[in-house]
């Protein structure tokens, strides 16, 4: 049956995920074993076969989970990534392992040519990287890693060493990537936002002339079903954008109309994660004996700009803004819900976001157990195709935080339970069908295991807190913000 026919024939009722097989190993042990298997000695790969290098935002999420089994490895994870930072401040989205064959992943180091094409931007000469970036989760990760073992962190000077690099990373984004001139950061390639194949990119990508299919070979199809991966047409457009950016020396701005290349989009999730990391940098500065007030104020200004530029009350969601198209991209993706994690959102915005999350467009707690990556009612929805419908564990983790930050404890508890159940049941799959919970993509996926570890630790802390307070386990839902292993600041 063709893919379109399969989707059309999808029944209205969906079975929930299967129960995990009985096992003597705890979730914590299973997740730790995945991270051990993916550890390379200095960093953790997302997947040994499909993603055999170090990815930027993957490493941030992985460090958040690693802190519960090895704070030293968690610190090393971030230090390894930041050691590949460019002189202009950007943190590249891939740091390549020189021992991996070139044909194991595309685009490979010889495509990006970072040490030559990126020379003017200050690409490192001793390590090969990509030239684009990913969402800035790193300061938040660094703060949480520090909180897991402050004694070790202080003894190693962890925060003192990563703070200047994190500050330079944020300066790069705030000054070089404010392509719209309103304070928000723009992405210049769909891969930068992390949700690579989202329907939110369809309109701006439609302007791009794809690279010829004969000019590249897709290694991802060696490990994933074509019907679950981006189409060849979309991939050709991704390659064209990357080639143009590379051949322009990885310069930001100053091209054509001053807004970068042909693709420049203000994305709500990317900016929300920057704001969350600004708050974290304020905490890091205070830990190091400096004032954090300027960072706090900047986070508040960026939150106001995010609401002003990207909030659509009619959609009940934040929307992407296409700087070339001149307005909002009217597609509901999970990216538009991620700002829920910000503490400074106006209450009416929070209420509307929770309504959208749990309403017919995303169905959390009713039609779906994990949050789909795209609108269930959208024309482009596909429960298996990369970022066009499947549910991902990192966005579930972010939204669990957001619900808890805004006092939605029961919903946060239910989402946490679903993440933990499905992570274990699917062997820590890359992503899942949001209706059935069927695991898709790579198994033994790095951030799935890591974030399950983090939520497992949080649940354990809640149960201990509930026992201390003499309440039943079923009633526990609060999270002690002062807890060393799970500070939500």
| Number of Cβ atoms within 10 Å of the Cβ of 28 | 15
- For 449, the token pair is 């295991």
Residue closest to 82 by CA, chosen among 121, 120, 124 = 124
What is the C-alpha to C-alpha distance for residues 243 and 90, in angstroms, rounded to an integer? Answer: 18
Verify whether residue 430 is a known catalytic residue: yes
Catalytic residue, from 278, 382, 424, 430: name it. Answer: 430
Q: Where are the alpha helices (DSSP H) in 345-436?
A: 347-358, 393-405, 409-425
**In the block, residue with structure tokens 């969906």:** 14
Cβ(125)–Cβ(115) below 8 Å: yes
Q: What kind and span of H or E run contains 455?
A: helix 446-469
What is the C-alpha to C-alpha distance for residues 434 and 407, in angstroms, rounded to an integer? Answer: 25
Quick one: CA dihedral 291, 298, 265, 276, positive or negative?
Answer: positive
Please work out, in degrees rounded to the nearest 5, the angle formed at the alpha carbon of residue 129 by the alpha carbons of 124 and 130: 125
Burial 396-417 (b: 16+ CB within 10 A, else e): bbbbbbbbbbbebbebbbbbbe
Burial 442-477 (b: 16+ CB within 10 A, else e): bbbbbbbbbbbbbbbbbbebbeeebeeeeeeeeebb
What is the C-alpha to C-alpha distance for residues 378 and 374, in angstroms, rounded to an integer? Answer: 7
What is the C-alpha to C-alpha distance for residues 180 and 3, in angstroms, rounded to an integer? Answer: 38
Cβ(472)–Cβ(55) below 8 Å: no
Catalytic residue, from 178, 196, 202, 480: name it. Answer: 196
For residue 44, the Cα-to-chain-centroid distance in whole angstroms is 16
Long-range contact list for 300-303, CB < 8 A, 24+ apart? 300/344, 301/183, 302/183, 302/184, 302/271, 302/274, 302/275, 302/278, 303/275, 303/342, 303/344, 303/345
Measured CA distances, 395 to 131, 259, 334, 372, 416 (Å): 24, 28, 8, 9, 12
Cβ(139)–Cβ(277) below 8 Å: yes
User: Whole-angstrom distance between the N-terminal and C-terminal Cα of the chain?
Assistant: 49
| Number of Cβ atoms within 10 Å of the Cβ of 152 | 15
For residue 304, the Cα-to-chain-centroid distance in whole angstroms is 22
Catalytic residues: 196, 430
């Amino acid at each position: 049956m063709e893919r379109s026919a399969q989707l059309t024939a999808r029944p209205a009722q969906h079975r929930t995920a299967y129960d995990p097989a009985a096992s003597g190993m705890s979730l914590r042990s299973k997740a730790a074993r995945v991270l051990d298997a993916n550890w390379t000695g200095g960093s953790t790969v997302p997947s040994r076969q499909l993603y055999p290098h170090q990815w930027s935002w993957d490493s941030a999420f992985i460090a958040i989970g690693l802190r519960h089994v090895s704070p030293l490895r968690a610190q090393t994870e971030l230090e390894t990534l930041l050691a590949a930072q460019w002189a202009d401040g950007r943190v590249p989205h891939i740091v390549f392992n020189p021992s991996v064959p070139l044909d194991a992943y595309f685009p490979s180091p010889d495509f990006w040519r970072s040490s030559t094409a990126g020379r003017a931007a200050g690409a490192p000469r001793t390590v090969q990287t990509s030239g684009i970036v990913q969402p800035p989760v790193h300061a938040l990760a660094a703060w949480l890693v520090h909180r897991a073992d402050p004694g070790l962190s202080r003894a190693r000077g962890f925060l003192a060493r990563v703070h200047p690099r994190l500050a330079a990373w944020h300066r790069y984004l705030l000054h070089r990537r404010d392509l719209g001139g309103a304070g928000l950061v723009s992405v210049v390639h769909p891969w930068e936002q992390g949700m690579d194949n989202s329907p939110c990119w369809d309109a701006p990508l439609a302007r791009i002339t794809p690279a010829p299919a004969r000019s590249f070979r897709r290694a991802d199809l060696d490990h994933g079903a074509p019907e679950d991966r981006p189409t060849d047409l979309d991939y050709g457009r991704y390659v064209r954008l990357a080639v143009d950016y590379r051949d322009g020396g990885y310069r930001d701005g100053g091209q054509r109309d001053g807004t970068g290349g042909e693709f420049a989009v203000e994305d709500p999730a990317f900016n929300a994660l920057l704001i969350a990391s600004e708050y974290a940098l304020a905490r890091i500065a205070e830990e190091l004996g400096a004032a954090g007030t300027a960072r706090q104020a900047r986070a508040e200004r960026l939150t106001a700009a995010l609401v002003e530029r990207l909030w659509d009350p009619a959609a009940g969601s934040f929307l992407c803004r296409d700087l070339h198209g001149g307005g909002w991209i009217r597609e509901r993706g999970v990216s538009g819900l991620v700002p829920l994690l910000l503490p400074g959102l106006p209450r009416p915005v929070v209420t509307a976001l929770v309504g959208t999350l749990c309403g017919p467009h995303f169905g959390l707690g009713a039609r779906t157990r994990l949050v789909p990556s795209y609108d269930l009612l959208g024309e482009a929805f596909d429960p298996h195709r990369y970022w066009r419908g499947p549910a991902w564990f990192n966005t579930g983790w972010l939204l669990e935080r957001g619900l808890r930050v805004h006092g939605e404890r029961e919903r946060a508890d239910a989402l946490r339970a679903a993440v933990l159940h499905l992570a274990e049941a699917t062997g820590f799959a890359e992503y899942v069908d949001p209706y059935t919970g069927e695991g898709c993509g790579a198994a033994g996926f790095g951030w799935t295991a890591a974030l399950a570890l983090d939520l497992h630790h949080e649940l354990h802390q809640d149960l201990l807190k509930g026992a201390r307070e003499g309440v039943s386990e079923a009633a526990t839902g609060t999270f002690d913000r002062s807890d060393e292993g799970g500070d939500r600041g």
